[in-house]
Structures are given as structure tokens and as C-alpha cells.
Amino acid sequence: MFVYWCSKKSPLKRGQARHQGFTLIEVLVVVAIASILVSMAVPSFNTAIQNSRMKSESNGLLGAIAYTRTEAIRRGNNVHFSRRNGTNWNGGFVAWIDTNNNNTWNTGEEIRLWEPLHSSMSLSSGNGRTQFIFKASGMVDNDDELTLCDNRSGESGRELTLLISGLASLSEVTCS
């Protein structure tokens, strides 16, 4: 059994033209409206990206602190958490065990390395600390507040509060 399909086209009346597609004016109007909508959405999208980056970086820092504390407890030994490049916290972090007891990170002592922060971010220690030492009990040698800000002035950043017990928490803070 064969099925035949055919379409009947209605005959055109005199003076009527067959329309196929859009006119140039219609296309230009649609493009103009779309560009206006996009130009309004881009600034808010950039803000969303910056807010997401702030949360991601601060959660990464919190995770790095928690990891270092856990390693100290698991190993039953002091584990250091310090700046990776030695000059500022923006260059990344390192968790390490001081095998030669010189209180300085040397190659081969690292347990884990973390990548540098995004170039728009800055991290500072409220007490000017360059490293923290987590003890086997999970406690840390000193408490501190680490403040993470980005290049937007007057915007909210994140502050990591590190307690002497070794527990850490995040909160919103206004950056200057």
C-alpha cells in the first residue's frame, strides 16, 4: 500500500505576491531590540560573575583551611598553612610539614598546593600573619581574620574567621 501526499497550492489572485521570509525593516527592528536587551543584561551578568567568583574563592580558602586542619589531626603532627609565593596570600597557599624544623617551606615538604587567587582578588591577614600552624589536636597557633576582597570598591567581600580551636567560618564584610 502506497500513500501519496500532495499539497495543493492556492492560486494567487491578481496583484498578490507570495511572501517568503522577512523584510529588511523587520530584521533591523528585531536586531535593534535584541541589542538593547543585551546591553542592559551585560552589566548585571558581570556583577553575577564577580559575586560567584567571590563565593568560589572564599569557599576554596575555607576548604584549604579545613583540609590543613584535617591533615594535622590525621597525621598526628603539626601541619603548616602558609602563603605559596612568600610575598602575599594572593599567590596561592600551601599545606606542608616542616621536616627539617626550620619553620620555612622547602621543596618536598608540601602536602598540597593551591592555585593563586584570581587577579581581581586580594587576601589579607588582619594580624599580618604569613602562616598558621595546625597542631595534632586540630588547634591552631593563633587566631586571625583573613579578608578577601575584589577590585570593586565599596562592595561586600568575605571574611574568614579562624578561631584558636582551628574552626573557621565565613561572613560578609564591606571592602574599602
| N-term to C-term CA, the chain | 80
pLDDT tens per residue, range 131-163: 999 999 999 999 999 999 998 877 789 999 999
pLDDT of residue 130: 92
List, in sequence order, every residue forming a beta bridge with 134; answer none if it has no partner: 79, 140
Decide if pLDDT at 37 tops 50: yes
pLDDT of residue 128: 92
Decide if pLDDT at 48 tops 60: yes
CA dist 154 and 124 (Å) reads: 16
Residue 76: HSE in the Cβ half-sphere, 13 Å Cα cutoff? 0
Domains delineated in the chain: 50-174 (3.55.40.10)
Dihedral sign from CA coordinates of 31, 33, 34, 35:
positive
